[in-house]
Amino acid sequence: MLTRARRLRDAFPHDPVFRGYHAVYRAGQTNHCPGCGRSHWIVGRLLAECAFCTTALPLVEGGMTGTGLFRNSWRAPEALAA
């Protein structure tokens, strides 16, 4: 007999409740490296890398800032050429 939690996990495999601990880099906060415990980071557009042990963590924002990354609405090529 399946427990309720297992039925829910199987029904929604992407549910973050069942994913467990997920280390991410949060801008504006003190972030300690899960590999070495230090807090010096090289931050890019999608990842932050520990400057000492090169452990890479995804950014919470994950490339959602900046100019020219993604277009929010689709437009016909004719409308863009004008």
- Mean residue pLDDT of the chain comes to 77
pLDDT attached to residue 16:
65
Alpha helices in the chain (DSSP H): 4-11, 77-81
* pLDDT top residue among 62 and 48: 48
Question: Is the Cβ–Cβ distance between 56 and 48 less than 8 Å?
Answer: yes
pLDDT attached to residue 11:
65
CA atoms of 5 and 40, how far apart (whole Å): 39
Residue whose pair of structure tokens reads 């549910």 in the numeric block: 15
**Numbers of helices and strands, H then E, in the chain:** 2, 3
Whether the full predicted model's pTM is greater than 0.75, yes or no, is no
pLDDT attached to residue 21:
76
Q: What is the pLDDT of residues 11-45, one digit of tens each?
A: 666 666 666 778 899 988 999 999 999 999 999 98
